[in-house]
Amino acid sequence: MNPIKGDILRGHLEPLILSQLDRGGGHGFEILRRLEQAGEGSLQLKEGTIYPAIYRLEQSGLVRGEWEENSGRRGPRRRIYHLTPKGRRQLAVGRADWRRFVTVIGGILEAET
């Protein structure tokens, strides 16, 4: 199967991030790993593009970020993101929209002529 690359994912990346944060808080690198695991190797994301999406979600109040403190590791701090109640509601809307999209488009694509 062909890998799903960045451009196809545009527009879906934000709900995908929300879905991974629904499983628990995580930093950017961790969110990316979770997405790759969930995609079973079919998702090919360029890693730098996840941060603009996260920042947009944070500005919209859908996720909340906080710097990791006292982790015991040296080097730059990681920023841990959590889903907000508003983000949880948005995720539910995103899931409903996706089901509708799959039903409609799937119905068209799979219809036999």
Partner 1 sequence: MKALRISVERIVRPLHASELRKDRIREELLSHITAAFDEERAAGFAEPEAAARAAQRLREPPTVTRRLQASIPKSERIMFYPLPYSQALRRFVWTRIQPRAGESALVWSVRISSFIFAIPMAVMMFLVIPLMKASRWNGADSWVHFGFAVPIWLIVSAGIFMFYFVLESFGRSHIRSTPPRKRLPVILCAGVMGSLPLCSGLLFAWICRDRLEFTSGYLAYLTIASVATAVLAPIIGAAHAADAQRWRDWGILDLSERG
Q: What is the contact surface with partner 1 in residues (CB under 8 A)? A: 27-29, 46-49, 51-53, 55-56, 59, 74-79
In the complex, minimum distance from the CB of residue 93 to partner 1, in angstroms, rounded to a whole number: 21
Q: Which is nearer to partner 1, 46 or 89 (CB)?
A: 46
The three-state secondary structure class of 63 is strand
Q: Which is nearer to partner 1, 27 or 64 (CB)?
A: 27
Distance CA 75, CA 52 (A): 22
Q: What angle do CA 10, 50, 104 make, to 5 degrees?
A: 30
Taking the least distance from each CB to partner 1, the nearer of 12 and 46 is 46
β partners of residue 4: 43
Q: Tokens in use for 65?
A: 């970020």
Shortest distance (Å) from residue 78 CB to partner 1: 5
